[in-house]
Structures are given as structure tokens and as C-alpha cells.
Amino acid sequence: MSHQKCAACTYRRKRCGADCILAPYFPAEKAEDFENVNWLFGVQNTINILTSVTEDERSKTAETMMIEARIRRENPVHGPLAIEKKLRDEIEMVQKEMKVVQEQLDLNKSKGKDKVG
């Protein structure tokens, strides 16, 4: 039984056997993801990382590596820290907006009480 070469074996120009540890996580259609992971971690480190976790954790580990590598490609200097900072800034902005809205609500409530009393 033959199967299609995985992205890792295609990239490395190697035969992709049924025992290929990278095949389940980097099928042929994930060539770009593999190239990013290879660029950031290298093939041997990728294999080492995947074999260092339990089989149940490997899929999530590979997905995490793909996300990390994609983010690093997009922002090689700050990587995921740039995204974290952007999100923290957005949270801070929304919290300030919520405070202003709450103050306006409180003001309107107090004006309403003044009219009634």
C-alpha cells in the first residue's frame, strides 16, 4: 500500500515510509506549514519535540509549532510577543471605553433620580 509523500519528505526529497513520524502532522497539503516549521525549528528538532510528548499530545504540539512558526515568519523580530502586546493594548482600550460608558450611565441614572425626587 502506497501513500502520498508528506510535506516533510517532499521538501527533503526523501522516501516517505509508513513509519514517517512527520506524515500525520504535515500531509502534502501542509507544505507551507512544514517549510515554516523547518525554518524555525529544523527537521531534527521537530522530530525530537514530537517524540518527546505522548502520542495523544503530538497533534496539538504540531499545531502549536505551526502557529509559532507562522507568527515568527510574519514578525521575525518580536514573534508572538507582538501579538500579545497588540491584544493587551486592545483590551486596555476597551476597558477605558467601558469605564467612560459606565460613568455616562451612572451620570444618567443620577440625573433621572434628581428629576423624580
Q: In this structure, are 45 and 70 located in the same domain?
A: yes
Q: In this structure, are 70 and 115 located in the same domain?
A: no
Residue range 51-87, pLDDT digits in tens:
999 999 999 999 999 999 999 999 988 888 988 999 9
3-state class of 100 per DSSP?
helix
Report DSSP letters for 50-80, one per residue. Answer: HHHS-HHHHHHHHHHHHHHHHHHHH-TTTTH
* Number of independent structural domains in the chain: 2
Task: Write down the pLDDT at residue 2.
Answer: 52
Q: How far apart, in whole angstroms, are the C-alpha atoms of residue 109 and residue 103?
A: 10
Residue 114: which domain range?
79-117
Give, in order, the Cα–Cα distances in Å from 53 to each of 18, 39, 47, 61, 62.
Answer: 20, 21, 10, 8, 11
Q: pTM score, two decimals?
A: 0.70
